[in-house]
Amino acid sequence: MTDSPQHRIFAMLDVDGDGAITHAEYLARVERVAAAAGRDADDPVVAASRVAHDAVFQDMDADHDGRVTFEEYRTWVGHDAFERFCRRALGSLFDIADLDADGRLDRAEFTRLRTAAGNGESGVEEAFDALDADRDGLVDRDSYLSGIRDFVTTGTSPMAAAYGAGRTGLPAAT
């Protein structure tokens, strides 16, 4: 695999590394984020996130075999898919982590979200700092989602640091 944003995200979602994202792997992100935030499985915010993630998976799985290959993902991913499905699903993960429902995450909440979602801890500090444009110690929901959208669709974004890439994009070797 190359080092494109799509490859990085696919590898993160393909938890067992077998070359396909299963429904269980994809929806497990919701459960991991909920557990990290201390939310119960029956919390309405968690339930809404499951529904949003299921819709994403169903749309990605072009041949409806219960597995999303990289080719299916690569064909699916982009600006339109982000706006139709991912904004809602990724926003729902943000909402799970946003325990006071103020539309903003502090550094600890942001770190828990990113780590539980499967990004690991490398680059999280840099991503937070880049998204906290007004330096108030908080990242708002719109900045978070815009950062992910820009990384997924163009490879450049403050969120790139959370995926192990440089602040403005991927390493020059890509």
Residues 6+ apart with CB under 8 A from 136: none
Poorest-pLDDT segment among 31-35, 129-133, 165-169: 165-169
CA distance to 69, 97, 114, 157, per residue, from 136 (Å): 40, 18, 19, 20
Q: Return the pLDDT at 170.
A: 28
Report, as an integer, the average pLDDT of 107-116: 92
Q: Return the pLDDT at 9.
A: 83
163 or 61, greater pLDDT: 61
As a three-state string, the secondary structure of 30-48 is HHHHHHHHCCCCCCHHHHH
